[in-house]
Chain A
Amino acid sequence: MSSQRVLRGVTKLWSLVRPISHARQQAVRRAVPMSLSDLGLRYTDQSGEEEEDHESEEQLQHRILTAALEFVPAHGWTAEAIAEGAQALSILMLPHNIPSSLSLLTSMVDDMWHYAGDQSTDLNWYTRRAVLAGIYNTTELVMMQDSSPDFEDTWRFLENRINDAMNLGHTAKQVKYTGEALVQGLMGAAVTLKNLTGLNQRR
């Protein structure tokens, strides 16, 4: 799977998740007096909406935005709404909520990889999701503190992190190939030595 595709897939999904984060912020404001499992439920409604279709980008984004906009009647992408996001994050961090916020994170990351075309069925399945979860969390934190126009800093941060992850994958592969080549070289040297000392011959 090319790094280009993954980068595109993740930024695509990130742009879809953005309105969801936003809706989540509004949901938090309403959910605080209510039970917190409702919060989890509402968030997943939004992401359920996200998962269900394979329509074109624009249509899907439009539908999510429309759904999110129900929750965002008067605000746009204002600083005030983002401040709500910080509060939303802190509510998700309450020990009482950590199991459900973890399961939300894992199902979201699983969906991201699925729609980016991941087909791994071994330990890669776990490492890829762990890496993406790390990227998502750090980028979300950056977004909460971002004050640049249209979140340019956040997008740049995201691209850098994704490039880091790609490089890590490539480096790991190269280390593995180098190791294998080294082992073969050593085996060759051993066979040569055996030949030289005549241990390979049968008298």
Chain B
Amino acid sequence: MSCAQLMGSCFPWRLGTVAPRHLSAYGRRISVRFCSSGLTLDKISRAAVDRIIRVDHAGEYGANRIYAGQMAVLGRTSVGPVIQKMWDQEKDHLKKFNELMVAYRVRPTILMPFWNVVGFALGAGTALLGKEGAMACTVAVEESIAHHYNNQIRALMEEDPEKYNELLQVIKKFRDEELEHHDIGLEHDAELAPAYAVLKRLIQAGCSVAIYLSERI
């Protein structure tokens, strides 16, 4: 991140700590001093939080699309209500990340339209393998996401638990709900899906690639 952009973005980063400023005769000098003293800390945290919110937002969006694909195929079967309930929780997650994205002024990943199509295709494709296939996809994806959230929680805890308290609460809550989905998937015979091990491995590899790309692009 260039120094200029950092200094320019320094102020919106000061959430909830609006200090009254003197009139601008001294304002410019005060602002430079504040920025230069806070520069190192803000540099690490701003880039880290940026990535975290971007990738989580993309992940929730993808999960939404996966469930949408599954509902499109299995919506009218007996497992429809189960998938619908999980989908509704993912919609809440996405809404929360939309709010966080605007609040922290994070850029969304440019691959959004791609995840739109790929997510739906994955959901619909695995659902076409039957309800076990859909559940296997759920298990694989939720396991990936829970693992990924755990990594983020670890990283944020190591940096500064108090500063990132709000974000940590959100990610912990979402991780717990994703693990619930994982367990629901297992309950509904995910392991009976055709080529379960291979399918799971493939989907988790795809998730890792998606996470890697969304963090950066």
Which residues of A are in contact with B by a Cβ distance under 8 Å? 37, 40-41, 43-49, 51-54, 62-64, 66-67, 70, 99-100, 103-104, 106-108, 110-111, 114, 119, 121-123, 125-126
Contact = CB atoms under 8 A, between A and B. Distances in A.
Contacts of A52: 11-12, 21, 31
Interface string B21-51: 1011101100110010000000000000000
- Residue of A40, A106, A114 ringed by the most chain B CB atoms within 10 A: A40
B12 A51 contact: yes
B101 interface: yes
Closest 4 CB pairs of A and B: A63-B24, A52-B11, A40-B4, A44-B8
B67 to A, nearest CB: 18
Task: Identify whether the interface residues of B are mostly helix, strand, loop, or mixed.
Answer: helix
Interface of B: 2-5, 7-12, 18, 21, 23-25, 27-28, 31-32, 35, 57, 98, 101-102, 105, 107-108, 110, 112-113
A67 B27 contact: yes
A150 B85 CA distance: 60
Given A99-B2, A103-B5, A114 B12 contact: yes
Given A63-B23, A103-B5, A122 B28 contact: no
Nearest to B9: A107
A110 B28 CA distance: 21
A44 B7 contact: yes
Contacts of A66: 23-25
A49 B2 contact: no
B8 A107 contact: yes
B108 A125 contact: yes
Nearest to A120: B108
A54 B20 CA distance: 11
A51 B5 CA distance: 12
Contacts of B11: 48, 51-52
Of A46, A52, A66, A106, chain B has the most CB atoms within 10 Å of the CB of: A52
Contact of A48 (B18, B23, B25, B35): B35
Given A37-B3, A125-B107, A70 B8 contact: no
Contacts of B112: 122-123
Nearest to A40: B4
Given A107-B9, A121-B98, A49 B4 contact: no
